Amino acid sequence: MLVLGIETSCDETSAAVVSGTGDAVEQRSLVILSQDVHRIFGGVVPEIASRAHVTAIAPVVSQALREANVELPDVDVIAVTNAPGLVGALLVGVSYAKGLALGAGKPIIGVHHMEGHLFAQSLEHANAVPPFTALLVSGGHTMLVDVPAWGDYRILGATRDDAAGEAFDKVAKLLGLPYPGGRHIERLARDGNPSHFRFARPMLRRNQQPGDDDYYDVSFSGLKTAVLLAVQASQDLERDGADIARGFQDALIETLAEKVRRAAEQHDRRRVVLSGGVACNQALVKEITARLADVGAEVYAPSVRLATDNAAMIARAGLFHAERGERDDWSLNAFASLPLGRKTHTSTSTSTKHAASS
Which residues of the shown chain bind ligand KG4 in the complex (CB under 6 A)?
10, 138-140, 165, 168-169, 180-183, 186, 276-278, 280-281, 308-309
Question: Minimum distance between the CB of residue 313 and Zn ion, rounded to whole angstroms?
Answer: 9
Question: Minimum distance between the CB of residue 10 and ligand KG4, rounded to whole angstroms?
Answer: 5
Q: How many residues bind Zn ion (CB under 5 A)?
A: 2
8 Å CB contact between 64 and 6: no
Strands 2-7 and 271-275: unpaired
CA angle 52, 166, 267 (to 5 degrees): 115
Q: Which region, judged by CB under 5 A, interacts with Zn ion, from 67-75, 130-138, 224-232, 297-305?
A: 130-138
180 versus 247: smaller Cβ distance to ligand KG4? 180
Question: Minimum distance between the CB of residue 12 and Zn ion, rounded to whole angstroms?
Answer: 9
86 versus 356: smaller Cβ distance to ligand KG4? 86
Task: Collect all residues with Cβ–Cβ distance below 8 Å to 220 and sequence separation of at least 6.
Answer: 142, 159, 161, 162, 163, 164, 166, 167, 202, 252
165 versus 318: smaller Cβ distance to ligand KG4? 165
Greatest Cα pair distance in the chain = 71
Which of ligand KG4, Zn ion, none sits in contact with 159, Cβ below 5 to 8 A by type?
A: none
Question: 305, exposed or middle or buried, with CB in 10 Å at 0-12, 13-18, 19+?
Answer: middle
Q: Which of residues 165-184 bind Zn ion (CB under 5 A)?
A: none
226 versus 284: smaller Cβ distance to ligand KG4? 284
8 Å CB contact between 191 and 242: yes
Which of Zn ion, ligand KG4, none sits in contact with 153, Cβ below 5 to 8 A by type?
A: none
Count of beta carbons in the 10 Å neighbourhood of residue 14: 31
Question: Minimum distance between the CB of residue 113 and Zn ion, rounded to whole angstroms?
Answer: 6
Q: How far apart are CA 301 and CA 70, in angstroms?
A: 29
Question: Minimum distance between the CB of residue 114 and ligand KG4, rounded to whole angstroms?
Answer: 9
43 versus 151: smaller Cβ distance to ligand KG4? 43
8 Å CB contact between 279 and 285: yes
* 138 contributes a contact to Zn ion by CB under 5 A: yes
7 versus 146: smaller Cβ distance to ligand KG4? 7
138 versus 281: smaller Cβ distance to Zn ion? 138
Q: Pick from 115, 169, 309, 326: which binds Zn ion (CB under 5 A)? A: 309
Burial 325-356 (b: 16+ CB within 10 A, else e): ebbbbeebebbeebebeeebbbbeeeeeebbb
Q: Is 336 helix (H, G, I), strand (E, B) or coil?
A: coil
Task: Collect all residues with Cβ–Cβ distance below 8 Å to 53 and sequence separation of at least 6.
Answer: 8, 13, 89, 92, 93
Which of ligand KG4, Zn ion, none sits in contact with 93, Cβ below 5 to 8 A by type?
A: none
Phi–psi pair at 10, nearest 5 degrees? -140, -110
Tell me, rounded to whole angstroms, the distance of Cα 206 from its chain centroid.
30
Question: Minimum distance between the CB of residue 189 and ligand KG4, rounded to whole angstroms?
Answer: 9
Tell me, rounded to whole angstroms, the distance of Cα 122 from its chain centroid.
14
Q: Which region, judged by CB under 5 A, interacts with Zn ion, from 25-33, 121-129, 206-214, 302-310?
A: 302-310
Question: Minimum distance between the CB of residue 279 and ligand KG4, rounded to whole angstroms?
Answer: 8
Question: Minimum distance between the CB of residue 120 and Zn ion, rounded to whole angstroms?
Answer: 9
8 Å CB contact between 40 and 131: no
Question: Minimum distance between the CB of residue 163 and ligand KG4, rounded to whole angstroms?
Answer: 7
Q: Which region, judged by CB under 5 A, interacts with Zn ion, from 94-102, 187-195, 221-229, 308-316?
A: 308-316
Strands 2-7 and 77-83: parallel
Q: Which residues bind Zn ion (CB under 5 A)?
A: 138, 309
